[in-house]
A and B are shown apart, each in its own frame.
Chain A
Amino acid sequence: MQLKAEKLLEQLKILIIVGILILIGQRIGYGISIIEAIPGIILVIAVAMFSLIIKELTPNLKFPAFAWASLTALVLSMPFMPTADWFLGHTNNVNFLGTTTPILAFAGISVGNRIEQFKKLSWKVLIVAVMVFIGTFFGSAIIAQIILKLQGII
């Protein structure tokens, strides 16, 4: 239990740093006032911590903290929830794209020790990626075609 609390505290420390990175980034990129966005980022960090705790408590579910974070925010922002206006009002000051830049900066650095392997993959990755793009698009289109036909919409 002691160890778990220490781990969560360490995660909170990193989340606060990520929050600061987002605040500075979106101030530069989208002109969002740092002061005005502080309540929003505190809420975001609170939901993130909540999702980490839920994940710790439900190890058998194998449901990632990321999914818990989305699900929690989804529930808090549904129109008939009393929390919706308050939650959305504040988190609107946290820019969607602004949250993506720190992730990719860390992600870019984190692949550094595998660059040599990465280079070997290059042209194959390109071919596979194109197959992935085609697969998802036509997979969805074919299923939609069948269901829309069955529903009589087309």
Chain B
Amino acid sequence: MNNRFIKLNLTVLVIVALCEMIGTKSFSVGIGTIVLLPMLFAVVIGILITPDVLGKKLSALKKVISREEVEMAGPFVMLALLPLGVKYGTLVGPDIVKVIQAGPALLLQELGNLGTILIALPIALLLGMKREAIGATVSICREPTLGVIGERYGIASPEGTGILGTYLVGTIFGTIFYGLLGSLSISTGLHPYALAMACGMGSGSMMTAASTSLAVAAPPEMKDTVLAYAATSNMLTGVTGLYSVVLFGLPLVNFFYKKLEPILGKRGNKDAA
């Protein structure tokens, strides 16, 4: 055990203890509720204490977390993700029969998650993003995708930077965004049952926000079914989301990147210059 190893882990211990002490905070902002989980505080504190942020001003902090400790933290992320992977498995295993019975619609709509690539990738390229766009648009970028991208490209790679961006935005604004979209989406004319299945995106808090507001806006006799479909879909995304990213999402986003980047990428650069 060397010094860097001890400094990094003790720092993370302090962050974890502090964040769990703060706990989950939620408050309403008129149009919705903002939910702040300990993990959000953890990532914010983690970024804040690095050499280029607060380390710039506090030299004592820079001594604890220098570029070397930052370098070391990367491989730790992949390993720290494994216990979460185990927990995902235990959430789905007991309900495996329900998952199998849930039907073709529930299964096939999971492929709709690839809609992120069709809509967001071209826009990301137009904005001048390069390999960051791969991570940012491959999926809705919750923890399982974080694991896949982290392992494939490294979390400190451009792809990793991209996914952490979408991940962070999702963690902070996801609940409020989907809380609004859930009820507003009925005006698109899509059936509430179809919209209910769309609520299960692999994040418990986002699914809850989207489906609850949808259930309130939907006809009263549909309310229970809306919530049931949403919860089942979210459970399914727990299983399929990961495989969908590995088997379809990543090949697809890389394919479209190769095709679209030469066209849209140049334009984005010219605009920026």
**Chain A contacts to B: CB under 8 angstroms:** 11, 14-15, 17-19, 21-22, 24-26, 28-30, 41, 44-45, 47-48, 51-52, 62-79, 81, 84, 87-88, 91-92, 94, 96-118, 121, 124-145, 147-148, 151, 153-154
Contact = CB atoms under 8 A, between A and B. Distances in A.
A144 to B, nearest CB: 4
Contact of B170 (A15, A115, A133, A151): A133
Given A102-B12, A124-B124, A136-B112, A88 B17 contact: no
Most-contacted residue by chain B among A21, A26, A72, A100 (CB, 10 A)? A100
Given A64-B147, A74-B92, A131 B156 contact: no
Interface string B9-23: 101110111011101
B137 interface: yes
Contacts of B215: none
Contact of A111 (B123, B156, B239): B156
A51 B82 CA distance: 9
A132 B116 contact: yes
Contacts of A142: 112, 115, 190, 194
A107 B160 CA distance: 10
B115 A110 contact: no
Interface size class of B (residues with CB under 8 A): 35 or more
A117 B82 contact: no
Contacts of A103: 39, 77, 80-81, 84, 143, 146
A148 B191 contact: yes
Contacts of A121: 129, 132, 161-162, 165
B140 A133 contact: yes
Contacts of A18: 76, 79-80, 82-83
B43 A110 contact: no
Contact of A71 (B71, B89, B140, B191): B89
B63 interface: no
B53 interface: yes
Given A109-B50, A140-B197, A142-B112, A66 B123 contact: no
Given A132-B141, A151-B104, A70 B20 contact: no
Given A66-B82, A133-B170, A109 B124 contact: no
A10 to B, nearest CB: 9
A127 B125 CA distance: 12
Contacts of A88: 90, 93-94
Contacts of B110: 140
B76 A106 contact: yes
Nearest to B120: A131
Given A117-B161, A143-B108, 9 more contacts: A21-B9, A64-B147, A72-B89, A73-B93, A112-B53, A131-B119, A138-B188, A142-B112, A145-B190
B273 interface: no
B121 to A, nearest CB: 9
Contacts of B239: 70, 74
Interface string B183-214: 00100101101110111110000000010000
Contacts of B178: 133, 137
**Residue of A15, A79, A138 with most chain B CB atoms under a 10 A cut-off:** A138
A19 to B, nearest CB: 7
Nearest to A45: B83
Contacts of A108: 15, 42-48, 50
Contacts of B148: 64, 66-67
A139 B177 CA distance: 16
Interface in B76-129: 76-94, 96-97, 103-106, 108-120, 123-124, 127-129
A7 to B, nearest CB: 11
Interface in B1-33: 8-9, 11-13, 15-17, 19-21, 23-24
B51 A112 contact: yes
Nearest to A133: B177
